[in-house]
């Protein structure tokens, strides 16, 4: 291809140019210059839209961070606060269970007299276990609600970003399709 271009340049320089040829040459150079100006304008518009999109995405990310940060901090503090309490309750339940077992083994002859006492202790243990179960269920429900809230807080802005990107893509495709270079 470069050899053909050089050969055409040599033949063109050797031939005499008529006024019509010069006029056509100037028209084509003008068309090329106009196309370059339109292309440069398109690039400037694309750059402006990209900068706006980048700014909007940055604002959305900052807002998501501001919204989810306190929620995560509160959840972490709640888990740190409840963890020792749950451990203490389970330790107490375990100690009560060992204590009851030792007393039952030790006082095997008086099982009939202690049967009522053991049932009472067993009832208290169930209440403690139910209480612990309620606390754990509450913690899990709270964590699930926090997770759901965080997911919903992130999904909305991400959908907006996806919509914006789709709009920019469609605009660029239309711009390329409308340009003289985009048509086949």
3 state SS for the chain: CHHHHHHHHHHHHHCCCCHHHHHHHHHHHHHHHHHHHHHHHHHHHHHHHHHHHHHHHHHHHHHHHHHHHHHHHHHHHHHHHHHHHHHHHHHHHHHHHHHHHHHHHHCHHHHHHHHHHHHHHHHHHHHHHHHHHHHHHHHHHHHHHHHHHHHHHHHHHHHHHHHHHHHHHHHHHHHHHHCCCCCC
The answer to whether position 4 is within a domain reads no
Q: Measured between alpha carbons, how far is residue 137 from residues 89, 92, 116, 123 in Å?
A: 14, 19, 31, 20
Is residue 11 included in any domain, yes or no? no
- 183 domain-assigned: no
Q: Does residue 65 belong to any structural domain of this protein? A: yes
- Is residue 10, in this structure, part of any structural domain at all? no
Read off the pLDDT of residues 83-102 as tens digits, 9 standing for 90 and up. 888 888 888 888 888 787 77
Note if the pTM is more than 0.85: no
pLDDT tens sequence across 29-70: 999 999 999 999 999 999 999 999 999 999 999 998 888 888
Residue 128's domain spans which residues? 19-178
Q: 12 pLDDT exceeds 60? A: no
Considering its fold, how many domains does the chain have in total? 1
């Amino acid at each position: 291809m470069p050899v053909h271009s050089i050969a055409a340049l040599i033949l063109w320089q050797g031939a005499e140019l008529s006024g019509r040829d010069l006029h056509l040459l100037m028209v084509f150079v003008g068309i090329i210059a106009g196309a370059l100006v339109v292309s440069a304008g398109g690039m400037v518009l694309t750059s402006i839209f990209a900068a706006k999109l980048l700014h909007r995405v940055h604002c959305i990310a900052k807002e998501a961070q501001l919204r989810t940060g306190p929620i995560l901090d509160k959840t972490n503090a709640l888990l740190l606060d409840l963890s020792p309490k749950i451990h203490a309750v389970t330790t107490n339940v375990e100690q009560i269970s060992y204590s009851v077992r030792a007393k039952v083994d030790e006082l095997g002859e008086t099982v009939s007299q202690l049967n009522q006492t053991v049932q009472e202790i067993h009832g208290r243990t169930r209440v403690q276990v139910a209480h612990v179960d309620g606390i754990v269920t509450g913690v899990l429900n709270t964590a699930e609600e926090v997770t759901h809230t965080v997911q919903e807080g992130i999904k909305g802005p991400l959908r907006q970003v996806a919509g914006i990107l789709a709009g920019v893509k469609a605009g660029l495709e239309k711009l390329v399709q409308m340009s003289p270079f985009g048509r086949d």
